[in-house]
Amino acid sequence: MPFTMTSGMFLSGILTPLLTSRFRLNRLLAASQIMKAIFTTGFAAILPFINPGNYWLIFIAILLTALCDGFANPISQALIPHYVEADQLVKANGIFEGVYQTINTGVWLAGGRFLLFLNSGQLIWVVAALSLFSSLLLCLLEGTATGTEEDRQQGLHPIKDGWHTLFRTPVLKKIARVELLETIGGTVWIAAILYVYVEEVLNTGRQWWGFINGLFFCGLILGGLLFVRFDRFADRHLPKLIITGLFGGAAATALFGLNSSPMAALLLSLIVGLAGQMVAIPKQTLIQTSVPESRLANVYASLGVLGTAVFGIASLLIGITVDWLGVRAVFLISSAALLAAAVLVFSSRKIFVRSTP
């Protein structure tokens, strides 16, 4: 199932530039949620009729849903500069991340609770209804500029445009490398690895996987709130915050792998989440101010394709490494990847500055 989701998001990331050059971003975002609501509703309707020989229908539903999310992710990130002034981007990104991670934490905790009084089919109907409500809200977004007639007549060129912009803009090229190293480092936090960690290293029940994840999300939320509160300070020190976040994340991840105390693991997980947000929000702001708004969605789509591909490959390799070297080793590998990213940013810190496209 994760492979199917990753494949869908990878494919939509490639195709997104073809749509952003032809349609308004706000309409595309609303359309992606409308399609998600339709696909989810259709899946809920046929679920009672799926027998053990037709599980392929479930994978089709997962693939279609992932396609919609793959379109929505780069578009939602690219929309922020359309609605706020440049000097408010750090605060806006902090609010966006804070709200997003708060909702993530809430529904992650609530999902299991729902299954206490709803069956899986009923829960999918709830998801379909929420997707429809989401699409109705998104239809209220203020309109954005559409692509030019020249853009619409360029065939497959918009797909190339995102990659050209990514690798020809110095700061974006460095950010792409940092994201790849972060993605490699982030694969150790998937459930399959944490399950092994809590059982073999912490010697606790699997519920501690939930506690660790919960504290990680709390770190992300705290980071978003701090950027909202101290946005002016953050705006003046974007490269320093990225470097600090990467070094801090590398140290906390290494200690997490070497640690055997459940309570210390919770604290370190919180620090990893906070450090991750210290990197994500400044990086987001640098991307948004490095290229014209009309190219942002294409750049985000290209970054998404790279990240999805690397995450899929790294997840497989990390799983193999756990079998060979043990679960502690993969956290040290993750720490090394984050440390390499920190060194990369530190050595190129002069180009990690805001610019006006």
Question: At residue 60, does pLDDT exceed 60?
Answer: yes
Out of 106, 129, 153, pick the residue that ends a domain.
153
Give 22-58 as a DSSP string. Answer: TS-HHHHHHHHHHHHHHHHHHHHHHGGG--GGGTHHH
Q: Is residue 354 part of a domain?
A: no
Quote the strand ranges of the chain, DSSP E. none
pLDDT in tens, 62-93: 899 888 888 888 888 888 888 888 888 888 88
What is the length of the chain?
A: 357
Candidates 357, 311, 242; CA nearest to 70 is: 311
* CATH code of the domain containing 257: 1.20.1250.20
Q: Do residues 115 and 210 share a domain?
A: no
State pLDDT tens for residues 227-268.
988 888 888 888 999 999 999 999 999 999 999 999 999 999
Domain count for the chain: 2
Question: Based on the domain organization, do 81 and 30 belong to the same domain?
Answer: yes
CA-CA distance, 230 to 224, in Å (whole number)? Answer: 10
Instruction: Answer yes or no: are the C-beta atoms of 220 and 214 closer than 8 Å.
Output: no
- Whole-angstrom distance, CA of residue 205 vs CA of residue 52: 31
The predicted pLDDT at position 145 comes to 66
| Chain segment 285-329, per-residue pLDDT in tens | 898 888 888 788 888 888 888 888 888 888 888 888 988 998 999
Mean pLDDT of 3-26: 83
Residue-averaged pLDDT of the chain:
85
Report if residue 355 sits inside a domain: no
86 lies in the same domain as 206: no
Residues 6+ apart with CB under 8 A from 338: 181, 182, 185, 246, 247, 249, 250, 253
In a domain? residue 76? yes
Is the separation of the CB atoms in 68 and 28 below 8 Å? no
Residue 41's domain comprises 2-153
